[in-house]
Amino acid sequence: MFLTRLTSRIPSSRLSTALSLTKRTFATGDEIPVQFMHGEPNPVVLPRSEYPDWLFKITDNATYGQLEKKIEEKGFDSLELEEQKRFIKLESRRGIKDGNEDSST
């Protein structure tokens, strides 16, 4: 729903460019054609060592679906404490989101 609202405000030519960039990979030194600052050069991919360590840990957390599958297979108690907390947080978020969608229709 958020993506629909966001993409409805972007011209279709720029949207197709943006979506194609999400599927591409860039090597060190490649220029990323995003043009987000008028008159400024596009950003260039730096070597991995130039980025902070936390950046590469962003996707380390299990998704709601992964946690749900693990619970179905082995039970809630099989999750580590941090995974249990994450599942509860994501479950709560999902409930809020569903409630918001129900009230907007």
Domain boundaries, the chain: 1-59, 61-105
Predicted pLDDT of residue 104: 78
63: nearest Cα among 25, 89, 24: 89
- In the Cβ-directed half-sphere of 79, how many Cα atoms lie within 13 Å? 21
Report pTM: 0.48
Determine the Cα angle at 53 with ends 21 and 93, to 5°: 70
Taking only the tens of pLDDT, the chain with its 105 residues reads: 444 454 455 566 565 665 665 667 889 999 988 877 888 899 999 999 999 999 888 878 899 999 999 999 999 999 999 999 999 999 999 999 999 988 877
Predicted pLDDT of residue 29: 92
Predicted pLDDT of residue 10: 57
